[in-house]
Amino acid sequence: MNEYRDTEKVSTLVIGGGQAGLAMGYHLARRNVSFRILDAHDRIGDAWRRRWDSLRLFTPARYASLPGFALPTNGDAFLGKDAVADYLESYAKHLNLPVSTGMKVQRLAKKNGKFLVETDRQQYEADQVVVAMANYQVPRVPSFAGDLDPGIAQMHSHHYKNPSQLKPGNTLVVGAGNSGADIAMEVVKTHPTWMSGKESGHVPFQIDTFFARLILFRIVRFIGHYVLSLATPIGRKQRPKLLRTASPLVRVKPKDLTSAGVERVGRLVGVQNGKPLLEDGQTLDVANVIWCTGYEPGFCWIDLPVFDDGGNPMHERGIVHRMPGMYFVGLHFLYAMSSATLVGVGRDAEYVAKAIERRIAKQRVQGASRLRVAASSGKSADALMAS
């Protein structure tokens, strides 16, 4: 257990310095709320920089800006992950947001009405705390991954950078979502490649055409931002399904995989004699396995009763009513299908910032009321609170 020489007191603490935390900072600053943002990485944007080298956004730059500072680039461009990372860093600098980097939070608890946040370097005490990060943090691999032959190189997509990490020979990409499809399209250029799994549909148009940039993305954005939201009957109906299933393929289409030479195989169900075993009983002789199998929530450091039986945060548009003063931003479909995206997170952050502003105003009114009562009774405000 860490020993802290002192505790820094802040009004509002934002945990996470990615797009959710920075958008939160923008809206808090607009309301003159005192706050600090903690980010575990050494540099703002590192969560993006550490993804695979060829990763690009699925939306043109004009639809990918955070509030208050637009992406300074060609609006038709599909930015790479390093450009997005640099934008986030510039965003924080341009808005002069108080971000402390290299602060990995180890525990969030509550004591005497205050939130206690412990990092590996500093302890904080806050009246409000915002957990500003996605609910997909810990790379997930199947339990039988450890049974693969030790000679097979395996890695999660979280750690994949480029094909130079792979051994010569056949490669199996497990998972047919967007990350699996993108990585398979890259790996097949240098390695015979299988892709296991079934995709959950695909966007029925090429995203890099003039018509898509000008018209179709506006329609898709409108649907994801306004139609598939908790404000509509269809959004409320579809939300549980959308939380459980992978997103449809966006850039890569099934026919693109076939044309590139990626061989599609069935679901991976286990390991036999050290080799990947498919549901049809076939085993694959591979040199590499890339797990594009998603993530688990990474909230084990939150020592508060704010999760349901499935480990999901219990909230209403990011407000945790059973733990006053606690909020979430950046979760998948927190309010709409766009909630975890660069274009959607700002709206959720604004909603939470308004709730924090109201809470602080209410606390000030209550504090002033206690002072007036204390003055009339001859007691201190602290004594009244204690009684």
- Residue 168: CATH number of its domain: 3.50.50.60
Closest CA to 7 of 121, 105, 99, 125: 125
The span from the CA of 139 to the CA of 151, in Å, is 22
286 belongs to a structural domain: yes
Same domain for 93 and 119? yes
Same domain for 53 and 20? yes
The span from the CA of 237 to the CA of 183, in Å, is 32
Contact 95, 55 (CB under 8 A): no
**Residue 386: predicted pLDDT:** 53
For the segment 177-190, what is each residue's pLDDT rounded down to a tens digit?
999 999 999 999 99
Q: How big is the CA angle at 166 (ends 162 and 171), to the nearest 5 degrees?
A: 105
For the segment 336-381, what is each residue's pLDDT rounded down to a tens digit?
999 999 989 999 999 999 999 999 999 888 877 777 777 777 665 5
Same domain for 284 and 327? no
74 confidence band (pLDDT: 50, 70, 90): confident
**Residue 382: predicted pLDDT:** 60
Among 268, 295, 322, the domain boundary falls at 295
**Residue 378 gets which letter from DSSP?**
T
Same domain for 278 and 304? no
304 belongs to a structural domain: yes
**What value does the mean pLDDT take over residues 242-266?**
92
Average pLDDT, the chain: 92
Give me the residue label for tokens 């505790």.
7
Same domain for 291 and 301? no
**What value does the mean pLDDT take over residues 30-45?**
96
For the segment 52-68, what is each residue's pLDDT rounded down to a tens digit?
999 999 989 888 899 99
Measured CA distances, 145 to 175, 268, 322 (Å): 14, 11, 39
230 belongs to a structural domain: no
Q: What is the extent of the structural domain holding 191?
A: 140-203+248-295
Phi, psi of 382 (to 5 degrees): -65, -40
Same domain for 158 and 289? yes
**Residue 182: predicted pLDDT:** 96
Contact 365, 356 (CB under 8 A): no
For the segment 199-210, what is each residue's pLDDT rounded down to a tens digit?
888 888 888 888
Same domain for 35 and 127? yes
**What value does the mean pLDDT take over residues 308-336?**
95
18: Cβ–Cβ under 8 A, 6 or more apart, which residues? Answer: 39, 45, 47, 48, 88, 132, 133, 330
Give the three-class secondary structure for 306.
coil
From the CA atom positions of the chain, what is the Rg in Å? 24
The span from the CA of 117 to the CA of 129, in Å, is 9
Same domain for 154 and 287? yes
Give the three-class secondary structure for 186.
helix
Cross-strand pairs, 354: none
**What value does the mean pLDDT take over residues 262-286?**
96
The span from the CA of 64 to the CA of 79, in Å, is 9
Contact 166, 154 (CB under 8 A): no
